[in-house]
Amino acid sequence: MTQNNDTASELTYRFLEAHPEDAARVLENLDATVVAEYLGGAPVKAAGEVLRRLTGAFASKVLENMQPDHAALALSQIPLDASAGLIRRLQEQTRKAVLNAFAKEDNEPLRSLLRYSKDSAGALMDPLVLALPHDLTVVASLEQIRNSPKHTTSYLYVVDREQKLIGVLNVRELMLADPAALLSSIMRPNMRSLSAHAPRAAILNHPAWKRFHTMPVVDNGGVFLGAVRYETLRNLEENSGTQAISDGAGAALGELYWVGLTGLVEGLAASITKRNLDL
């Protein structure tokens, strides 16, 4: 029996990894406590991708019932703004426990996002986007980019030594520049930016989106805080209503595959529920 359950678990975990949106729709029909235990045993990357696709209200119920360390591991696998959006919904005690369980490198960036009101630029930004000082050479800048590829966008933001945003250039311009040149000599000054407190409507209607697909975010003093990516706003729009069922799900999975794996997930959930009742 244990071997059969292990095989079923492995199949459903593969389902989560390959089709997190479809899995989210199945899991939303189950009890949140059961889903919490199920995702707590799933591969953390798959669990995170499913959590971000659950409706906000249901995701918060699931997270409230997960062990804080399991919740933090799963949430650390998805973008920081998505993690912050889910953590923001948690009750204060749970929120503190989950935040404390995050690794040190993610803890402070997450807390910085949570300082701002929901849907503001400060809450939606990626606080880890790379910004470099104006007195750095091109060759040193390229080395920084090589060391931090996941935090680099197609734009390189330039700051002074007080961390105030003073310019921008794209990575192509950087690669074509004299290796010994300073960023201050090749950047474009007077970069358009978003206030960290800018509300959603102001962000969406900002005219600079016609030219840029990433916008820097600054505080009231002009200090660079991070950047909002255009796809973040698009995702926010798309997910603001009820999530539509994907028309391609049947074609992608095959009807029998879908029904079979749905049954496996529900069967495992029932098994978890029965085990909990027997304890």
24-44: average pLDDT: 89
CATH class of 2-115+247-278: mainly alpha
pLDDT tens digits, residue range 119-155?
899 999 988 899 999 999 999 999 989 888 888 888 9
Asked if residues 77 and 106 have their Cβ atoms less than 8 Å apart, the reply is no
Q: What is the mean pLDDT of residues 82-103?
A: 92
The DSSP-derived string for 37-78 is HHHHTS-HHHHHHHHTTS-HHHHHHHHHTS-HHHHHHHHTTS
**How far apart are alpha carbons 34 and 258 in whole angstroms?**
20
Name the residue ranges covered by the structural domains of the chain: 2-115+247-278, 131-237
Secondary structure in 3-state letters for 80-134: HHHHHHHHCCCCHHHHHHHHHHCCHHHHHHHHHHHCCCCCCHHHHCECCCCEEEC
Q: What is the pLDDT of residue 152?
A: 86
CATH of domain 131-237: 3.10.580.10
Predicted confidence at residue 195, as pLDDT, reads 96
